[in-house]
Structure 1
Amino acid sequence: MATVFSQIISGAIPGRFVWADDVAVAFTTIAPITDGHTLVVPREEIVQITDAPADVLAHLVRVAQLIGKAQQEAWDAPRVALLTAGFEVPHLHLHVLPAWDEQSLTFANARHDVPAAELDAAAERVRETLRGQGQGEHVPATLGSPG
């Protein structure tokens, strides 16, 4: 059975996409720790970071870096955090989020009640900043499509 992330990538479940290329997609999470919290996910179902081929992992980290630069600019954050846990979905994903302190970097701070309009606005903010930073070719044409 396909993972929830594979279902999002295929369009069976809606997603808020900010990045798409042949290897990876990135979409904002529905339970953000901070505004703009984005997941970078390989298109291929890979269970965890230790299972990833080196070239795929390197690509995911490069995409995470580019998204992090966009988040840092969009929210004027002093840092960007990169978290990898993967207990909730057995499909490798990197959590990329603007960060102001280490104490807030816990999944216990994930907000599950953010209105859809706010989630959309945060995703659009990342998308617009990526375009402004010259990454427009990887920003899907619409928020709801992985391209």
Structure 2
Amino acid sequence: MESIFSKIVAGDIPSYKVAETLEYLAFLDVNPLTEGHVLVIPKKEVDYIFDLDSETYVGLMMFAQIVAAGLKKAIPCKRIGVSVIGLEVPHAHIHLIPINSMDDMNFSRPKLSFTDEKLEAIAEKIKEQL
């Protein structure tokens, strides 16, 4: 079954893209923990990140590093937190989360909600730094 992320890659579901290559995509999480919370995925649908072939895995990490650098410039924060959980969507993905404290990475916290206009503005701000 096609994941929601594969539908985003195909353009069947809209997203707030911040970066894209032929193999990878980074877009805003629409249920973010903090402003600027980004998801980084391989376009190839593989459920578990450690099932990715080595080339795709390394490429995904390198792409995430580039996105994280731009994200840190765009969103004031102490660090960009990285999380790989993989239970919520059966498509390998990395969470890049601007953080100022450990609590900012607490996935049991209530998620933030932004208007479409705000999400578009955040995505543009990040794109400008890449």
The TM-score with structure 1 as length reference comes to 0.83
Aligned to 1:100: 100
Structure 1, residues 14-62: CA drift from partner, whole Å, max 9, x if none?
A: 1111111121111111011111111111111110111111111111111
CA distance in structure 1 between the aligned counterparts of 2:77 and 2:43, rounded to whole angstroms: 29
SS across alignment from 2:69: helix
Decide which moves more: 44-53 or 68-77: 68-77
The TM-score with structure 2 as length reference comes to 0.93
Question: Does residue 79 of structure 1 match 2:85?
Answer: no
Q: Give how far 1:101 is off.
A: 1.1
Count matched residues.
130
Q: Give how far 1:110 is off.
A: 5.0
CA distance in structure 2 between the aligned counterparts of 1:97 and 1:104, rounded to whole angstroms: 8
- Could you tell me which runs of 5 or more consecutive residues in structure 1 were left unpaired when the two chains were aligned: 131-147
Q: Give how far 1:112 is off.
A: 4.8
- Could you tell me which runs of 5 or more consecutive residues in structure 2 were left unpaired when the two chains were aligned: none
Aligned to 2:5: 5
CA distance in structure 2 between the aligned counterparts of 1:46 and 1:56, rounded to whole angstroms: 10
Code of the residue aligned with 1:81 in structure 2: it is: G
Aligned to 2:42: 42
Aligned to 1:136: none
Q: CA RMSD in A?
A: 1.2
SS across alignment from 1:40: strand
| Conserved? CA contact 2:84–2:95, under 8 Å | yes
